[in-house]
Structure 1
Amino acid sequence: MKSKILLVDDQPENLVALEAALSPLDQTLVRAASGEEALNALHEGEFALVLLATQMSGMDGKETTAHIKRRAQTRDTPIILVSRFGMNPHDTFRGYAAGAVDYVVWPHDPWVLCAKVTVFVDLHQKNLQLREQAALLRTGVSTLGTGVSPPLLAHLASLLLDIEEQTRDLTELLQAQPSSVTVRAMVARVAHTIQGLRHLLQGALELRE
């Protein structure tokens, strides 16, 4: 399963450098050369993450972030700001206030960048898996009276255990990143969703008894 990552910068050479740095992750990388292009691209599908240059002609990174966060379709999409000239405390505050979850300074350390991006890709893929399982589980619960096969619920239980284990691994990883408060909140929401699915699955199993 691949996730889409949106790369936004008005300097083509920076987009090439970002693609080279992120290529080991083997995800789908989409380019946008302006804030306007980024907003249009976000209409065309779900993205795990946006890497957004802070300094751009026209709509800059913080303004683009604000537009992304105002849209219902994209308000939960994580945004990492990329600065070519560093970020002073005021700029950092403005970025977080607009809705960014993190920032990196150009030129970036490819290993650090990949580590940050991997966290969000993992979270996105866990969310996709949870949605699929929720749909399957609701289908199973709604058809219990028509003879749904027990292996369906057993399969869901197995998948749920797997995601619970992977989410615990993510939580341990985030303990080494105490500044990622927003990321911790995202993991907490995933854990809450898992708990809800666990209760729903238990209810379905009790109905079969």
Structure 2
Amino acid sequence: MIFFQLFVTFFKIGLFGFGGGYGMLSLIQQEVVVNHPWMSSADFTDIVAISQMTPGPVGINSATYAGYTALQNTGADPWVCVLGSSVATFSLVLPSLILMLLISRYFMKYANHGAVRSVFDGLRPVVVGLLLAATLMLCNRENFGSPAPTREFVTGIALFVVTFALTKGIPLGSGPKGPRKIKIGPIKMIIIAALVGILFL
């Protein structure tokens, strides 16, 4: 039964997950944490972190790990968990495969058509909203600790602020080659945060 639920759930996410992998994260979290409590919010956050660090699109990686974790939390055998990963991954990419096969022949021909451009103009703000929703849903007690002046909470907030600032870039003024700023990539920031967690949490 859970395999059928995984298939339907991730097929639906793949069908409506506009905006790429990051746009899918809020949909995946809503389904696997809220609608089907296959894992906790902390589990999902770990999945997103691992998906960032491993090769491949973050949405597909998240689906793969989510499928595995969903079966693992039921006490299933590791090989059964691998099957859960396969079902989740396949069902996520299946809608895109079907749609691209159907519309690729006609898309370039009508790409500049007014109605087509209007559809994409309407989708862009939705993508931004989905990204923001994914961010806000991860701002919870499980990921930051109790909202009290504890070491876990203070460290979590500090990591959040520093990560946001450094991945966006902190201006350092002008230099011979133009504006300078300090900026760290997401993967390096995840490694740094992991080391901070080992040392202080």
Q: Same fold by TM-score, threshold 0.5 exceeded?
A: no
Higher strand residue share:
1
| Greater relative CO, 1 or 2 (CA 8 Å, sep 6+) | 2
Higher helix residue share:
2
TM-score relative to the length of structure 2: 0.28
TM-score relative to the length of structure 1: 0.27
